[in-house]
């Protein structure tokens, strides 16, 4: 029997859990007001000066600054306010390492669906979009939503690609097909790591149009191409690639469709071709880790998919015909593992 918690500790912990939305809205609102960009342009600004720059009153600005300071997003020297290294690097829009797209996507797109999580669980259907009007999350024609979504995906995927890509041996790979790889973040990072590698993003046509801009910005148009298509509607995957990549793709779809994608990959790959899967995997006993478990729950709101375990993926791959299956663990925003398999 475990020792009882001190009287105040239990309620305090529950309050912290229940108040998570307060933290998220503090961050997203500060970002929306461009607080961090303003401090980057005017380091040392006071509360009164920031209120004038942001177009807010002094009283709420003071509360916002106190909350951001408590979250480690700004620091003070007397009355003067400054960005911390974290906010300066990742929350200033002009920074190459800007991560605010992920925050904006959650706030504008995901959280309205999360506020109806009960409905998503009760009715077993997404709430972040209307399944009666769209076939999937990715069918949206809303240009603002598309831009926000893919900016977010690019931000988190680039970090993950650098972390996991450095742990995967691609020295024998020559041509990589990034299945559902809109944004080309993985392809850009992997091509930078491996000068002899070429890659192609295989995704919906409107996603490829947005992706081409990212490829051009990276000045990698001679090595990275786009292949417009629909990986379920097309009769087969494009040929000519010795490596396939599924990054945060499988968790979007029901089990039967995941296994269909694995079969299509197996069919299209040449002998000795390899499949790389990057995912936030739930532990085999399904009691964590927290980021993977919450991502799995997010799929109830956003897609028809779920989170899954390394054991499940390994079984699916083996049943499809893949061999030499192994799991490489990593710590990154959208993947805690890479699952690599070979076609005999």
Catalytic (active-site) positions: 251
Considering only CA atoms, which of 254, 264, 245, 258 is closest in space to residue 313?
258
Given a contact cutoff of 8 angstroms between Cβ atoms, the answer to whether 247 and 181 are in contact is yes
Contacts for 343 with CB less than 8 Å, ≥ 6 apart: 266, 269, 270, 271, 272, 273, 274, 275, 321, 322, 323
Given a contact cutoff of 8 angstroms between Cβ atoms, the answer to whether 340 and 325 are in contact is yes
The two most distant CA atoms of the chain are separated, in Å, by: 67
Considering only CA atoms, which of 257, 253, 233 is closest in space to residue 304?
253
């Amino acid at each position: 029997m475990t020792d009882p918690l001190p009287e105040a500790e239990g309620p305090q912990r529950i309050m912290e859990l229940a108040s998570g939305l307060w933290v998220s809205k503090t961050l997203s609102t500060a970002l929306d007001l461009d607080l961090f960009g303003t401090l980057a342009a005017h380091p040392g600004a006071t509360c009164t000066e920031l209120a004038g720059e942001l177009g807010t009153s002094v009283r709420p600005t003071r509360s916002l600054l106190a909350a951001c300071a408590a979250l480690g997003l700004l620091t003070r020297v007397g009355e003067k306010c400054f960005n911390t290294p974290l906010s300066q690097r990742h929350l200033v829009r002009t920074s190459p390492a800007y991560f605010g797209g992920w925050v904006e996507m959650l706030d504008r797109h995901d959280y309205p669906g999360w506020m109806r999580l009960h409905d998503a669980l009760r009715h077993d259907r997404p709430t972040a979009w209307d399944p009666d009007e769209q076939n999937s999350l990715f069918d949206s024609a809303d240009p603002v939503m598309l831009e926000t979504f893919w900016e977010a995906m690019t931000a988190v995927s680039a970090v993950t690609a650098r972390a996991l890509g450095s742990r995967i041996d691609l020295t024998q790979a020559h041509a990589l097909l990034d299945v559902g790889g809109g944004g080309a973040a993985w392809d850009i990072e992997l091509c930078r790591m491996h000068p002899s590698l070429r890659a192609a993003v295989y995704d919906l046509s409107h996603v490829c149009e947005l992706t081409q801009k990212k490829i051009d910005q990276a000045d990698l148009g001679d090595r990275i191409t786009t292949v417009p298509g629909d990986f379920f509607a097309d009769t087969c995957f494009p040929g000519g690639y010795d490596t396939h990549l599924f990054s945060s793709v499988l968790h979007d779809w029901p089990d039967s469709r995941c296994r269909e994608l694995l079969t299509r990959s197996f069919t299209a790959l040449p002998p000795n071709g390899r499949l790389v899967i990057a995912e936030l995997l739930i532990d085999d006993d399904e009691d964590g880790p927290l980021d993977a478990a919450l991502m799995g729950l997010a799929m109830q709101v956003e897609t028809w998919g779920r989170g899954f375990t390394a054991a499940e993926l390994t079984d699916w791959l083996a049943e499809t015909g893949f061999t030499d299956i192994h799991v490489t663990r990593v710590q990154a925003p959208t993947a805690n593992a890479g699952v690599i398999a070979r076609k005999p």
